[in-house]
Amino acid sequence: MPTPLVVSEVFKSFTMHLRDGITLPVVSGVSFSVKKGECVVLGGPSGVGKSSILKMLYGNYAVDSGQILIEHQGHLVDLAHAAPRAVMEVRRDTLGYVSQFLRAVPRVSALDVVAEPLLARGVAQAEARERASDLLAKLNLPRELWQLPPATFSGGEQQRVNIARGFITDHAILLLDEPTASLDAVNRRVVVGMIAAKKAEGVALLGIFHDEEVRDAVADRILDVSAFSPRKAAA
Amino acid sequence: MTDTPLLKVNDVSKFYGSRIGCRNVSFELWPGEVLAIVGESGSGKTTLLSCLSTRLMPSSGIVEYHMRDGQYRDLARMGEAERRFLMRTDWGFVHQNPADGLRMTVSAGANVGERLMAVGDRHYGNIRATAADWLARVEIDEDRIDDQPRAFSGGMRQRLQIARNLVTSPRLVFMDEPTGGLDVSVQARLLDLVRGLVHDLGLSAIIVTHDLAVARLLSHRMMVMKDGLVIEQGLTDRVLDDPREPYTQLLVSSILQV
């Protein structure tokens, strides 16, 4: 059985040209893999590079060296070196991401924000909206908000829109950046249930969860990112 | 996803005398892809757009377009009539100032209908019905169909210009600062509209803008220009979240947070 996500010897630093070109090392020698149906949680203190790892895996951050191998439609794509349109294709069909904050688009309703990833994959609008409605209902987002753009929603409401958008597709790999940070206990449990369902479907999940209760409920394995911290290596 | 680029740009340069407009630009644009060209005034982005859209002849380099018959054609070697036909049918060009892209003294309906007539439509009823449909798609009330764009607000004029360009189902649309002269609320409406249309019609687009938020919202891929050169390019998210070049870092760090 192929492994959907393999990260091998990834190095990342930032060069701050506006600050006299100083180089900030972020992570070095990151190597791990995530199997089907497994939920790996990135652990370690703030600032150790957990979010940076997720952003590299999604293609938002470039990597200095190393490989990020994603199983995409029967072949391997190295996301660290893929062309922009290959990254777009992998994001559309294979790799999902629930970011910490929603990037709201003016005038687009919550329902359409959630339905959009399905539309991008050619699902008919009526069906996409129906599935979006199901998810928003499951996440207890008040029905009167569905037709409104999420820009004015509370943090927890925006986060639920974001979660619904990330979970609506059947992507084989899902990256989760603190998806439960601003949720109440009831909705945290809903999300825990949704993660368990993804695992049962064989989705590979990689996430950051600061909430211990959620972490203990979903994690198969905790990967301590401090092991990849260049600062520690230097000390 | 198809495996042939719509536009192939190879080593395009444009000099104005000894001054550089743009230099050694190469890239490929794929069907359904939206490319943003960003950079400050004078960086060469509008010169590049003009060279790509045959409004200017490059000093050197080749721009090839994948025609509907499946052949690549070198745009510089095309006859004037053929090039104009391409511009009127398979391409669109949205100017920053709508007055440059519209005929201000004929009706809104005729502005849209004119492009249809250019592709051979002759049935008045059909042309008017299609024009009305397109006005609705760009959120202009149908009862304004006989008004001249002179009587429209800036935002309406810009939406009309977009309708005029898209009515012939072009495959490639060039946009030069499409939201440039509009106030913010009008901008948001236009951006949302353009975003929806690009998605629904599967358009390819090249958008010149100095507004990084516009680039983030509309484009998949981004090229940053400075002094006529493309200094950085890549996935839009990557360029904005992890800018590598000193100038791109300056651009990104200069955005005001609201």
Determine the pLDDT at residue A90.
Answer: 97
Chain B, window 155-174: residues with a beta carbon less than 8 angstroms from a chain A beta carbon = none
Give the helix ranges, DSSP H, for B41-138. Answer: 45-52, 80-89, 98-101, 108-118, 124-137
Please indicate whether, in this complex, the C-beta atoms of B238 and A85 are within 8 angstroms of each other: no
Question: Range with the lowest mean pLDDT among A38-52, A154-168, B114-128?
Answer: B114-128
Q: Residues 2-31, chain B: which have Cβ within 8 Å of A?
A: 30
Q: Can you give the pLDDT of all 258 residues of chain B as single tens digits? A: 458 999 999 999 999 999 999 999 999 999 999 999 999 888 999 999 999 999 999 999 999 999 999 999 999 999 999 998 899 889 999 999 999 999 999 999 999 999 999 888 889 999 999 999 999 989 899 999 999 999 999 999 999 999 999 999 899 999 999 988 787 778 888 888 888 888 888 899 999 998 898 899 899 999 999 999 999 999 999 999 999 999 999 999 887 766
Q: Which of A60, A89, A108 sits opposite B237 (nearest CB)?
A: A60
Q: Distance (Å, rounded) from C-alpha A206 to C-alpha A202?
A: 13
A213: pLDDT strictly greater than 80: yes
- Choose the closest CB to B253 out of A18, A62, A105: A18
Is B40 or A194 the better-scoring residue by pLDDT?
A: A194
Total residue length of chain A: 235
Size of chain B in residues: 258
Q: Judge if pTM exceeds 0.80.
A: yes
pLDDT at residue number B1: 47
Work out how many CB contacts closer than 8 A connect A with B.
56
- Please write the tens of the pLDDT for every residue from B194-235: 888 888 888 999 999 988 988 998 999 999 999 999 999 999
Between residues 167 and 226 of chain B, which touch chain A (CB distance below 8 Å)?
188-189, 191-192, 195, 199, 217, 220-221
**Which residues of B, range 224-243, sit inside 8 Å of A by Cβ?**
234-235, 237-238, 241-242
What is the identity of the amino acid at A163?
I
Helix B154-166 and helix B108-118: axis angle, to 10°?
20
ipTM over 0.85? The verdict is: yes
Q: Are strands B204-208 and B172-176 parallel, antiparallel or unpaired?
A: parallel
Convert the pLDDT of each residue in A102-158 to its tens digit: 887 778 899 999 999 999 899 999 999 999 999 999 999 999 999 999 988 999 999
Distance between CA atoms of B97 and B102, rounded to whole angstroms? 9
For A60, the closest of B30, B238, B246 (CB atoms) is B238
- Is the Cβ–Cβ distance between A100 and A163 less than 8 Å? no
> What is the strand order of the sheet A39-43 is part of?
A95-98, A173-177, A204-208, A39-43, A221-224
Our measurement of the distance from residue B10's CA atom to the centroid of its chain's CA atoms, rounded to an integer in Å, reads 20
